[in-house]
């Protein structure tokens, strides 16, 4: 068991100084997720992207709510790995 | 038919006005839409289809038209409205949803109606052809030498309304010109994947009318082709079909991620920009100098500033006004 | 594995995906359904998985491709066609209402037309009069078309499975503002837990989404969410509202409506469509014919096109406040 932070991947275009946001969380806190599961959907400017679980475990904490600003590398969730 | 010096300068200035109008609209449209790009938010909500890159079509054709001539446009209408001389302040106010707008906030950017300038547009693809026929019919019945021009994208040429209109216009020899703006995409679908013939101008032959394809997104070439078609119509010789190759710099609508578009395509297109090309030509011809160009651009910015400020500062309609104007 | 919550657009695409995997006769066509994945993401991922032969981008030629769906279905295929906005029906209505809706009947039942015609409806995001209409009642009025209007991801997926498997034409309406798209706000309640496998939600079965005693709110689509908000407000005022999500208009679950009307005695229809000659009148007639109509009201678009400007559009669309006011007005009436 270890705490793994879910970070926003670099799907930004050339301008990294634009805020993006999470538009949908597909799991609530406490949910079990597999490695690679799409746990959320983000959006930057006009492009949506997927946020996947880096490890299997329990989605212990959602750190970034829908519509809160995020950037590349933002810590948006924590997973307690198996 | 070559454009005069004044006509060249009018085309140049109007293209800059259109381009800057659209660029400014893109900025305003983005206001209030961060961090999430939500189409319903900000001072200008709803769908927004911008025509930057398509200026040559508008100015090349509109050079030959006056206030008596009718124009119908599609969902991407700003360049056509501006070149037709639609009141810029009232148009912008309409796009902001204001009481002072062309339609008092009822219509929005896809539904602009300026009776004085005989301009209208519709959000339905291919919907502008039949009304243009009607305007041409009205002119003919009233013994006027007025013409009507319907503009639509290349995607619209696959609608039944296009083919029905071509046949009827040819049959009744109406003073109407159908102008297809080929910007390569119907939303995401490239022309080759939607259209069975290389150019829609070829389709004119099926209806026994002249059809011309104008390549290269060049206002002067459009001017020449449109001049022939308009003259023909005014002299009672009937309809023509033009297809003009043009370029769409923005997405189908603001919010379109454009994932279907090859990377770098827009940059390549901008390397062949019609405004820059005409500028060079005017400079070389001694028609334009650095100073006069700067002064012209400054005047354009002032005109835009006035229109946008008017729109922004105008009041919204009262909510209950929603109930008015279903009938007159 | 605990339950994942997905958006309505993903639920719809998932149902189509599962049906395409199950039955090679199922295919999709429409404008921008391929690489783009549907303007409202109803077909996201399908092109990559099945290719252009089964997920076909069409020209902007609705008469041709919707009519072609009828023809292909008559030959045993199971087409899903998308009409990008329901507002666009005007360019192809003949193929829909004179052919897709009638060929089965006119053939004495010998022609089967398993077509799903899916389409986006609704407003609330300032898209003006030609891109914001609801219009489902218009199609429900024409005999021969089943009409489905889901309000959430779970129902959307189950109803899509049912629609595809149905041997009759089904008009499948999804509200743009329920799809969970990043670029258009959606009520949080539209995304729901959705099983990953296939399941069906039957047509013609309304759902009581909130039980109550004092009045019955009959609604569907986006208005389910707005009615739920209104009901929460009414609760604070001591009024207990029952809410029925119709889910399908054809077939219409009149029994559930009548039963609830008999219980509460008051029926309020909340409808995003135009008020006159539509759904609200049909519900009034249904409860009146059953002798269950003691008190009736409706909140709908007041017979004007959908205006562009924000204050105008907000004024004509039913909202939680206008719904709650109408409900309160009914309870204040004598008797």
Q: Are B113 and B120 in contact (CB under 8 A)?
A: yes
Closest residue, chain C, to A43 (C-alpha): C182
pLDDT tens digits along B295-308: 999 999 999 999 99
| Other Cβ atoms closer than 10 A to B159 | 24
- Enumerate domains of chain C plus CATH numbers: 5-193 (3.40.50.970), 207-332 (3.40.50.920)
Quick one: average pLDDT of C228-255?
A: 98
Residue whose C-alpha is closest to residue B135's, from B188, B87, B68: B68
Q: What DSSP character marks residue C265?
A: S
Q: Where are the beta strands (DSSP E) in B137-274?
A: 148-153, 176-182, 185-186, 189-190, 211-214, 240-245
Identify which of A24, A33, A42 has the shortest CB distance to residue C191: A24
Identify which of C2, C7, C183 has the shortest CB distance to residue A24: C7
CA distance B108 to C129: 9
CA distance B161 to B126: 6
Domain ranges, ordered by start, for chain A: 3-81
Answer whether residue C335 shows pLDDT above 50: no
Query: Does B320 reside within a domain?
Result: no
| pLDDT confidence of residue B1 | 80
CA distance B121 to B118: 10
What is the biggest distance separating any 2 CA atoms in chain C, rounded to whole angstroms?
63
Query: Does B327 reside within a domain?
Result: no
| pLDDT confidence of residue C309 | 98
For tokens 């006011």, what's the residue? C325
Four-residue CA torsion sign, C230, C231, C232, C233: positive
Contact C309 B37 (CB under 8 A): no
Contact B34 A19 (CB under 8 A): yes
Contact B46 C127 (CB under 8 A): yes
CA distance B22 to B18: 6
Radius of gyration (C-alpha) of chain B in whole angstroms: 19
Contact B35 A21 (CB under 8 A): yes
CA distance C21 to C26: 9
Please list every residue in chain B whose beta carbon sits closer than 8 Å to the beta carbon of residue C57: 188-189, 193-194
**How many whole angstroms from its chain centre is CA B161?**
19
Bridge partners, A47 (sequence order): A44
* B contact chains, 3+ CB pairs < 8 A: A, C
Contact C2 A32 (CB under 8 A): yes
State the residue range of the domain holding B184.
Answer: 5-311
CA distance C152 to C159: 10
The ipTM assigned to this model is 0.94
Contact B40 C125 (CB under 8 A): yes
pLDDT tens digits along B48-105: 999 999 999 999 999 999 999 999 999 999 999 999 999 999 999 999 999 999 999 9
Contact A23 C182 (CB under 8 A): yes
> Closest approach of chain B CAs to the CA of C309, in angstroms?
4
Q: Whole-number mean pLDDT of chain B?
A: 97
Answer whether residue B166 shows pLDDT above 50: yes
Quick one: average pLDDT of B104-127?
A: 98
pLDDT tens digits along B121-165: 999 999 999 999 999 999 999 999 999 999 999 999 999 999 999
* Overall fold of domain A3-81: OB fold (Dihydrolipoamide Acetyltransferase, E2P) (2.40.50)
Contact A23 C5 (CB under 8 A): no
For tokens 């769906």, what's the residue? C69
Four-residue CA torsion sign, B162, B164, B170, B172: negative
Q: Are B68 and B118 in contact (CB under 8 A)?
A: yes
Query: What is the number of domains present in chain B?
Result: 1
Closest residue, chain C, to A23 (C-alpha): C182
Alpha helices per DSSP H over C52-186? 62-74, 93, 103-106, 136-141, 153-165
Identify which of A19, A46, A67 has the shortest CB distance to residue B255: A46
CA distance B57 to B220: 10
Which H/E stretch holds residue B250? none
Identify which of A45, A69, A70 has the shortest CB distance to residue B37: A45
What would the DSSP string read from start to end of C210-254?
E--SSEEEEE-THHHHHHHHHHHHHHHTT--EEEEE--EEETT-H
Closest residue, chain A, to C44 (C-alpha): A48
Share of chain B above pLDDT 90, in %: 98
Identify which of C4, C7, C182 has the shortest CB distance to residue A27: C4
Four-residue CA torsion sign, C20, C24, C30, C35: positive
Phi, psi angle pair for C6, to nearest 5°: -125, 165
Which H/E stretch holds residue A25? strand A20-25
Phi, psi angle pair for C189, to nearest 5°: -75, -10
pLDDT tens digits along C119-169: 999 999 999 999 999 999 999 999 999 999 999 999 999 999 999 999 999
* A contact chains, 3+ CB pairs < 8 A: B, C
Q: Are C45 and C13 in contact (CB under 8 A)?
A: yes
- 10 Å CB burial of residue C200 (0-12, 13-18, 19+) is middle
| C319/B contact by beta carbon, under 8 A | no
* C contact chains, 3+ CB pairs < 8 A: A, B
Give the confidence band of C333 by pLDDT, cuts at 50, 70, 90.
low
Identify which of C60, C129, C182 has the shortest CB distance to residue B159: C60
pLDDT tens digits along B309-326: 999 999 999 999 999 999
Write the CA distances from B260 to B51, B188, B189, C59, integer angstroms.
19, 6, 8, 16
Query: Does B319 reside within a domain?
Result: no
pLDDT tens digits along B211-249: 999 999 999 999 999 999 999 999 999 999 999 999 999
Per-residue pLDDT of chain A (82 residues; tens, 9 = 90+): 799 999 999 998 888 898 999 999 999 999 999 999 999 999 988 888 999 999 999 999 999 999 999 999 999 999 999 8
Rounded-to-5 percentages of helix, strand, coil across chain A: 0, 50, 50
Per the structure block, which two tokens stand in for A43? 């959006």
Residue whose C-alpha is closest to residue C88's, from C31, C12, C9: C31
Contact A43 B36 (CB under 8 A): yes
| B43/C contact by beta carbon, under 8 A | no
Choosing from C99, C131, C161, C175, the catalytic residue is C131
Quick one: average pLDDT of B192-205?
A: 97
CA distance C244 to C131: 27
Rounded-to-5 percentages of helix, strand, coil across chain B: 45, 10, 40
Closest residue, chain A, to C41 (C-alpha): A48
Contact B46 C128 (CB under 8 A): yes
Per the structure block, which two tokens stand in for A74? 């933002």
Dihedral-angle region of residue C176 (phi above 0 means left; psi in -120 to 50 means alpha; beta otherwise): alpha
Residue whose C-alpha is closest to residue B137's, from B270, B1, B236: B236
CA distance B176 to B162: 13
Q: Are C213 and C243 in contact (CB under 8 A)?
A: no
Catalytic residue list contains C131: yes
Dihedral-angle region of residue C180 (phi above 0 means left; psi in -120 to 50 means alpha; beta otherwise): left
Residue in B26, B29, B30, B36 to test binding to A, most A beta-carbons within 10 Å: B36
Contact B36 A67 (CB under 8 A): yes
Quick one: average pLDDT of C314-330?
A: 97
Q: Are A29 and A62 in contact (CB under 8 A)?
A: yes
Where residue B92 sits, what CATH number does that domain have?
3.40.50.970
Query: Does B321 reside within a domain?
Result: no
pTM of the entire structure? 0.95
Please list every residue in chain C whose beta carbon sits closer than 8 Å to the beta carbon of residue A26: 4-6
Q: Are C79 and C44 in contact (CB under 8 A)?
A: no
Closest residue, chain A, to C183 (C-alpha): A46
Share of chain C above pLDDT 90, in %: 96
| pLDDT confidence of residue C1 | 42
Please list every residue in chain A whose beta carbon sits closer than 8 Å to the beta carbon of residue B50: none
CA distance C214 to C265: 8
Query: Does B100 reside within a domain?
Result: yes
> Closest approach of chain C CAs to the CA of A82, in angstroms?
13
Please list every residue in chain C whose beta carbon sits closer than 8 Å to the beta carbon of residue A37: 4
Write the CA distances from B51 to A35, B57, B210, B246, B304, integer angstroms.
44, 10, 27, 10, 16
């Amino acid at each position: 068991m270890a705490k793994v932070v879910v970070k926003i991947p670099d799907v930004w275009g050339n301008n990294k100084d634009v805020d993006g946001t999470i538009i949908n969380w597909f799991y609530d806190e406490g949910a079990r997720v597999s490695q690679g599961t799409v746990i959320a959907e983000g959006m930057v400017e006009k492009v949506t992207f997927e946020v996947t679980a880096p490890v299997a475990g329990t989605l212990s904490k959602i750190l970034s709510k829908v519509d809160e600003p995020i950037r590349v590398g933002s810590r948006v969730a924590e997973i307690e790995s198996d | 038919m070559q454009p005069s010096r004044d006509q060249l300068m009018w085309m140049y200035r109007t293209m800059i006005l259109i381009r800057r109008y659209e660029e400014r609209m893109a900025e305003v449209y983005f206001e209030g839409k961060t961090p999430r790009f939500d189409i319903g938010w900000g001072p200008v909500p709803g769908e927004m289809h911008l025509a930057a890159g398509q200026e040559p079509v508008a100015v090349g054709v509109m050079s030959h038209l006056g206030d008596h001539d009718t124009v119908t446009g599609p969902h991407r209408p700003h360049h056509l409205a501006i070149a037709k001389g639609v009141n810029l302040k009232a148009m912008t106010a309409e796009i902001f949803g204001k009481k002072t707008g062309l339609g008092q906030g009822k219509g929005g950017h896809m539904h602009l109606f300026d009776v004085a300038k005989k301009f209208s547009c519709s959000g339905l693809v291919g919907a502008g052809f039949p009304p243009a026929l009607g305007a041409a019919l009205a002119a003919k019945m009233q013994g006027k030498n007025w013409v009507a021009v319907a503009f639509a994208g290349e995607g619209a040429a696959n609608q039944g309304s296009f083919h029905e209109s071509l046949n009827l216009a040819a049959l009744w020899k109406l003073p109407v010109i159908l102008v297809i703006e080929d910007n390569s995409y119907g939303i995401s679908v490239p022309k080759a994947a939607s259209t069975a013939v290389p150019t829609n101008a070829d389709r004119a032959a099926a209806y026994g009318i002249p059809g011309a394809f104008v390549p290269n997104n060049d206002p002067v070439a459009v001017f020449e082709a449109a001049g022939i078609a308009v003259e023909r119509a005014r002299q009672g010789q009937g309809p023509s079909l033009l297809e003009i190759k043009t370029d769409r710099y923005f997405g189908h609508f603001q919010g379109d991620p454009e994932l279907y578009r090859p990377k770098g395509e827009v940059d390549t297109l901008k390397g062949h920009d019609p405004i820059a090309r005409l500028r060079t030509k005017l400079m070389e011809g001694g028609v334009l100098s650095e100073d006069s160009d700067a002064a012209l651009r400054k005047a354009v910015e002032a005109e835009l500033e006035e229109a946008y400020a008017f729109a922004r500062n105008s009041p919204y309609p009262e909510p209950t006004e929603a109930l008015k104007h279903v009938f007159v | 594995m605990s339950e994942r919550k997905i958006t309505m657009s993903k639920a719809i695409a998932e149902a189509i995906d599962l049906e395409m995997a199950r039955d090679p006769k199922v295919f999709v066509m429409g404008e921008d359904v391929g690489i783009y994945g549907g303007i409202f993401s109803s077909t996201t991922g399908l092109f990559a998985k099945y290719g252009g032969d089964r997920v076909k981008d069409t020209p902007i030629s609705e008469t041709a491709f919707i009519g072609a769906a009828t023809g292909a279905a008559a030959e045993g295929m199971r087409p899903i066609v998308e009409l990008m906005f329901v507002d666009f029906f005007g360019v192809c209505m003949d193929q829909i209402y004179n052919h897709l809706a009638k060929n089965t009947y006119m053939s004495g039942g010998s022609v089967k037309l398993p077509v799903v015609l899916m389409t986006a409806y609704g407003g609330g995001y300032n898209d003006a009069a030609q891109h914001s209409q609801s219009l489902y009642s218009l199609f429900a009025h024409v005999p021969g078309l089943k009409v489905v209007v889901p309000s959430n991801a779970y129902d959307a997926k189950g109803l899509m499975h049912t629609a595809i498997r149905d041997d009759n034409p089904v008009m499948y309406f999804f509200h743009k503002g329920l799809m969970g798209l990043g670029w258009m706000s959606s009520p949080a309640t539209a995304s729901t837990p959705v099983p990953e496998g296939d399941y069906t939600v039957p047509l013609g079965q309304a759902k009581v989404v909130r039980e109550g005693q004092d009045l019955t709110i009959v609604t569907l689509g986006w208005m389910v969410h707005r009615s739920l908000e209104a009901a929460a407000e009414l609760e604070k005022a001591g009024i207990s509202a029952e809410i029925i999500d119709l889910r399908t208009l054809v077939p219409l679950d009149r029994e559930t409506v009548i039963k609830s009307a008999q219980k509460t005695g008051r029926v309020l229809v909340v409808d995003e469509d135009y008020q006159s000659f539509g759904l609200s009148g049909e519900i009034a007639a249904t409860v009146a014919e059953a002798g269950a109509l003691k008190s009736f009201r409706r909140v709908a678009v007041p017979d004007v096109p959908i205006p562009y400007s924000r204050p105008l559009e907000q004024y004509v669309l039913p909202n939680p406040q206008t719904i709650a006011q109408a409900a309160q007005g009914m309870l204040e009436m004598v008797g």
